[in-house]
Structure 1
Amino acid sequence: MSKENPDKPPIFEDGRGDPDKEGGAVESPEPLDQSLKKRTRQRTASPPRGSTPQSSPPKFVSVEELMETAKGVTNMALAHEIVVNGGFRVTPSQPPEGSLEKRVKDIVHKAFWDCLEAQLAEDPPSYDHAIKLLAEVKEALLSFLLPGHGRLRLRIEEALDVPLIQQQAENGALDMGKMATFVIDTMGALCAPCRDQEIHKLREITGIIPLFKYSGFLPQSKDMQGYILSDGDGSIRPHLMQQSVEYERKKFQEFLDKQPNAMDLTQKWLQDTAKALLNGDWEGGASSAGASAPIPSTLHPLIVHNHAYLHLLKWDHASCPFPETLLMDQRRFQEMQWELEELTAVAAVLLIVYNSAGAAISGLPGLLEQLKGTTKLLLAELHSPDFRAEEAFATVAERMWEEVRRSLAQHGFSPFSSERQAVLKGQIAAVRLPDNSIRRLIDSRVQTYLLGFLESSQRGCPTTLPGGLAPIQKELEEVAIKFSRLVNYNKLVFAPHYQRILQDVLRGEGPAPIREGDS
């Protein structure tokens, strides 16, 4: 089975790595600063009890310190979003047509261009507005450059040297046409390839004011930002990845210094996973060796860590606070959890259908995809508050039976007896129940596959697809790739914290409290 495996990072290292970029746009998660503040208030109101690890006493900080920390955490969340979300784009904000904001914006723009035109028409011309515009254009162009654009940066600095331009204007030697041509050429080099035709049209415009006014530079700045954040040759993501691990680790440590108890939930998450594995209470799936493979009595930190991440795909988001180190990706984990539950139900239904009909429908061209598509469509709202499970699965059962009946008749097979028909429908309808044996079997195999996928990315070996999952193989691989990328990136960022917590847990000492300055 061929697949795109993420790069292989060790579980604990110095924080440098380059996991693959995640494809597909997802919504931005709840801002980390808000989530962490909410968690801090909850823990401050009532001290941790039971299995919640003990922590250092709270440290009082000033409002200024909290504001600065919040700003840093927000920046960290933005950097994290750009790195892990391959669909992240910067989109321009346009006020509604006819709104007050739109009218004010149009008036201001018109006033600016009218003033610039009037100044350039003076004798001798006045370049005050023009020089300000060139200075803003220069800063914007420089902000779009990648770390490797040293030569282009030097060209921009030399061509748009504001003090020199000011001197040329005072001595009547400023060539605005030359300046405008340089700006348009540089825009053509930086903006997305789809803009090439527009850049060509700009070169044909005569007159400084029309050229600057209609070049669309300011709107295209968003286009440039989107292009350099894309996955193409101009992408800044590989460069950002090199620094993002250390940046996120540093910002989280700054927050940890001010809130020493800010990893209590992370400690509990890892501790509970280790306890479940050692006590044989693990319900999140077995090892990659198979559903019945025993959990070793001596656990390696990597085993605990992989199972802990797997448990996040079974998380009770409504009542259990999420580990602090994964808050920025909580929504992504929840969406993957929903997707896996839907795929599990689909695979369970198809397994029942093909086991019931047997060779009569096995191998019929196009039938599997048709049954799969129908089931996915009917279960698309599985996690909607308005979803009626009993009614939806009864409909699935009816539709599956109709397809099976039609196929049997079309290919000359004997029809099902009424008793056999009732059994088929009843088995499919029962998939709605969480403790349904077939649904649990498929779920166990999905968990086995995901765990094997994590291990294969670390060992560089292929993953075996368990039986019964072939109909959802493509979708399952896509989820596994996203899951593995998030896991690997998170390991890189928080490796020092995870290493210390897991070592303490596996020595049987329980997690030590996070101390100020720990890393």
Structure 2
Amino acid sequence: MSQNPDKLHSSEEKLSGSEDGQEENSDNPDQSVRKRIRQSAPGSHRDDTHKSSSSRPVSIEELMETAKGVTNMALAHEIVVNGDFQIKPAELPEHSLEKKVRDIVHKAFWDCLEAQLKEDPPTYDHAIKLLGEIKENLLSFLLPGHTRLRNQITEVLDLDLIKQEAENGALDISKLVRFIIGMMGTLCAPARDEDIKKLNDIHEIVPLFRAIFSVLDLMKMDMANFAVSSIRPKLMQQSAEYERKKFQEFLEKQPNSLDLVTKWLQEAADDLAKLRHETLPPHSNDGATGGASTLCFTAVQNQAYLKLLKWDHVNRPFPETVLMDQTRFLEIQLELEQLLLVGTVLLVTFSAAGPALVDVPGFAEKIKTIVKVLLTGTHLPSFNLKESLATIGEKVCAEVNSYLSQHGFTPFSAERETVLKGQIQAVANPDNTICRLIDSRIQKLLENYLASSHQKTLPPILGGLGPIQRELEEVAAKYVRLVNYNKMVFSPYYDAVLGKILTKEEPQLVGKPEES
């Protein structure tokens, strides 16, 4: 067992993107929104797990093996999908029982070490064990070609020799510590140079030992993150096959693990059938060619992925095959909801301001910044949309009048200001005509992106979405990458499920003529 209490929890590392560790930046509302989205995202646990009569009893061993397989699959998926993936140290809640127990154990250990070193003559039992752990850590950082460094560490930190020196009263701890700090400086990443310098400013042995182990833990995380970045290209080549294999193993142990997927795809097929029934003329044989079945598979899948952007994450479990990406789909969903509000307010404002003012350099971006900042946090329960829109109305009117005056136009009258403020506040109504128009065009844009995901040219931006074009393109690109990777992994399962669903659907969906 490790003798260093600071290492008791060194293996408790949470897996997250680097953006999770960044502080909220008030100058960058998008960044703070993403951070709060991840903090407030619902977990992947499903209290209302779908039950099936086909399920069979499983043993504890099978459950443990399945859980391990799912964990490995989730880890590989996270590394591939999240370009900012990093291993970070776990931080226990400030007043948690676990943190209190850990602090008590650590304090007792270091107090014991200090008491041993203050004895006359000093006792070095604990100190020698710590030196042994430090030696192991330093050796673990070496590559096979680091023969000279390996020999130096082995020679200077020879525990047998150190024990003999301690027994004869000739042990110089300070000399060993200076060597350790120097070797850490040689092996650490440039980002740790400042931490190494701080070690030289600590002169008491016990605090210095504690600081050394803290920096060693950081160096181990640096090494792990470097390894992750190194294997990512190779992992990307094999991850789809690996995830499919792991999911198949999970499916064999839990045969009902596609129930939610089946329901999800069935709803998408029903939506598409209803839409085509409403838009196609009666007795139309459109799509009755031999390629219709393939077209329908793709169309239903795309419709299903669009449904994920309108998902009720609180009351409805997520489909099994997209469960690992639930937080990402939720983040995209909330970003789109915010962009919907921003786009609607901007369209209303620019229509009222007129084309002459919209073309003034800096005006459109200034208004957009104001609106985006005041609509930050729309997903939070404490957010009051009506109050925010009222504030936006006041600030937008003030900004519009300022620009009108600066460029020789007549400022808004009190009546026009009242009308514009009323139009902006009306955006809070879900049935607002302009809001629904912008929403439908955003959905159509995403549908076009999915349909042209393998083409080099991007779909044209639709009317009314110009003010938020850049943001929409960023979200759409992220969304399409997520969808395409999911298709790459799970398309065989989707094809099997859709093969059963589409044979039962109306002829206009399947592409077969109706039988008399």
* TM surpasses 0.5: yes
Write the letter of the residue equivalent to 2:74: A
CA distance in 1, matches of 2:121, 2:448: 69
Name 1:387's counterpart in structure 2: 383
**Residue number in structure 1 paired with 2:309:** 313
The whole-number CA distance in structure 1 between the counterparts of 2:60 and 2:309 is 37
Partner residue of 1:192 out of 184, 189, 192: 189
* Structure 1 residue matching 2:89: 3-state secondary structure: coil
Shifted more, 431-440 versus 452-461: the winner is 452-461
CA distance in 1, matches of 2:379, 2:277: 25
C-alpha separation between the residues in 1 aligned to 2:241 and 2:150? Answer: 30
Q: Indicate yes or no: 2:500 matched with 1:487.
A: no
Is 1:63 equivalent to 2:37 in the alignment? no
Residue 428 (structure 2) aligns with: 432
Q: How far did residue 103 of structure 1 move?
A: 4.1
Q: For residues 59-91 of structure 1, give each alpha carbon's deviation from its aligned partner in whole angstroms, at most 9, with x where no partner exists.
A: 101233324433443444344444433154412
CA contact (8 A) 1:96 1:102 kept: no
Specify the code of the residue in structure 2 equivalent to 1:108: F
Q: CA deviation at 1:438?
A: 1.4
User: Equivalents in 2 of 1:461, 1:119: separation in Å?
Assistant: 79
What's the CA shift for 1:340?
0.9
Q: CA deviation at 1:57?
A: 0.7
State yes or no: 1:441 paired with 2:437: yes
Aligned-partner SS, 2:354: helix
Task: Give the counterpart of 1:91 among 89, 92, 97.
Answer: 89
Partner of residue 374, structure 1 = 370
Distance 1:435 1:455, change over 3 A: same
Normalised to the residue count of structure 2, the TM-score between the two structures is: 0.70
> 1:124-173: per-residue Cα shift (whole Å, max 9, x none)?
xx88974675357536864x78xxx6646x888888789x967878999x
Q: Quick one: which of 267, 276, 284 aligns to 2:271?
A: 276
Q: Could you tell me which residue of structure 2 aligns to residue 102 of structure 1? A: 103
**1:402 positional shift:** 2.8
Tell me if structure 2 keeps the 8 A contact 1:382–1:389.
yes
CA distance in 1, matches of 2:421, 2:453: 40
**Distance of 1:138 and 1:317 partners within structure 2:** 47
Q: Which structure 2 residues correspond to residues 197-208 of structure 1 after superposition, within 5 A?
A: 197-199=194-196
CA distance in 1, matches of 2:196, 2:496: 55
State the partner residue of 2:244. 249
- The one-letter amino acid paired with 1:351 is L
Tell me the percent identity: 44
Contact (CA 8 Å) 1:30, 1:328: kept in 2 or not?
A: no
Determine if contact 2:18/2:86 at 8 Å carries over to the other structure: no
> Could you tell me whether the CA contact under 8 Å between 1:344 and 1:443 is conserved in 2?
yes
- Quote the residue 1:265 is aligned against: 260
Contact kept, 8 Å, 1:263 with 1:324, in 2: the verdict is: yes
Contact 1:22/1:84 (CA < 8 Å) preserved in 2? no
* Equivalent residue letter for 1:249: R
Matches of 1:178 and 1:251, distance apart in 2: 52
Residues in 1 aligned to 2:396 and 2:443: alpha-carbon distance in whole angstroms: 26
Q: Say whether the 8 Å CA contact 1:229–1:236 is kept in structure 2.
A: no
Note the C-alpha offset of 1:430.
2.0
Cα distance, 1:384 vs structure 2: 2.8
> C-alpha distance in 1, partners of 2:138/2:242?
24
Aligned to 2:337: 341
Q: What letter matches 2:498 in structure 1?
A: L
Q: Shift of residue 281 of structure 1? A: 6.3
Whether the 8 Å contact between 1:120 and 1:127 is mirrored in structure 2 is no
Measure how far apart 1:22 and its partner are: 7.8
Whole-Å separation in 2 of the counterparts to 1:253 and 1:329: 18
* 1:206-221 correspondence runs (5 A): 213-214=208-209, 216-221=211-216
Distance 1:509 1:468, change over 3 A: closer
The alpha carbon displacement at 1:392 in A equals 3.2
Q: Judge which range, 431-440 or 421-430, deviates more.
A: 421-430
Q: Is the 8 A contact 1:82 1:229 kept in 2?
A: no
CA distance in 2, matches of 1:120, 1:456: 78
Extract unaligned runs of 5+ from structure 1.
1-20, 48-55, 284-293, 511-519
Question: Which ranges of structure 2 fall in alignment gaps of 5 or more residues?
Answer: 1-15, 21-34, 166-170, 279-286, 507-516
CA distance in structure 2 between the partners assigned to 1:258 and 1:71 by the alignment:
13
Give 1:398's match in structure 2, choosing from 374, 394, 405.
394
Q: Give the aligned residue type for 2:106.
A: K
The residue number in structure 2 matching 1:322 is 318
- Cα distance change on mapping 1:24 and 1:100 into 2, 3 Å: closer
Tell which has more relative contact order, 1 or 2 (C-alpha 8 A, sep 6+).
1
Secondary structure of residue in 2 paired with 1:65 = helix
Give the aligned partner of residue 353 of structure 1: 349
Q: 1:353, CA displacement in angstroms?
A: 1.4
1:354/1:362 contact within 8 Å kept = yes
Larger CA deviation: 449-458 vs 316-325: 449-458
CA spacing shift, 1:392–1:135, aligned 2, 3 Å: closer
What is the match of residue 465 of structure 1? Answer: 461
Alpha-carbon contact 1:192-1:223 (below 8 Å) kept: no
| Cα separation, 2, equivalents of 1:416 and 1:205 | 66
Q: Give the structure with the higher percent helix.
A: 2
Give 1:138's match in structure 2, choosing from 136, 154, 165. Answer: 136
Instruction: Return the alpha-carbon distance in structure 2 between the equivalents of residues 436 and 489 of structure 1.
Output: 35
Relative distance call for 1:212 and 1:68 in structure 2 (3 A) is farther
Partner amino acid, structure 1, of 2:310: K
Match of 2:361 in 1: 365
C-alpha distance after superposition, 1:361-400 (max 9, x if no partner): 1222332222222222332242332334334333333332
Question: How far off its partner does 1:350 sit?
Answer: 1.0
Whether contact under 8 Å (2:199, 2:208) holds in the other structure is no
- 1:477 equivalent in structure 2: 473
RMSD: 4.7
Tell me the equivalent position of 2:70: 73
- 1:204, CA displacement in angstroms? 11
Residue 485 of structure 1 aligns to which amino acid in structure 2? Answer: R
Shift in Å, 1:341: 0.9
Number of the residue aligned with 2:282? none
- Which residue in the other structure is 2:283 paired with? none
Alpha-carbon distance, 1:105 to partner: 0.6
Task: Output the CA distance in 2 between the equivalents of 1:30 and 1:476.
Answer: 24
Does residue 227 in structure 1 map to residue 222 in structure 2?
A: yes
Is the Cα–Cα contact under 8 Å of residues 397 and 417 in structure 2 kept in the other structure? yes
Normalising to structure 1: TM-score of the pair?
A: 0.70
CA distance in 1, matches of 2:351, 2:272: 34
Q: CA deviation at 1:322?
A: 1.2
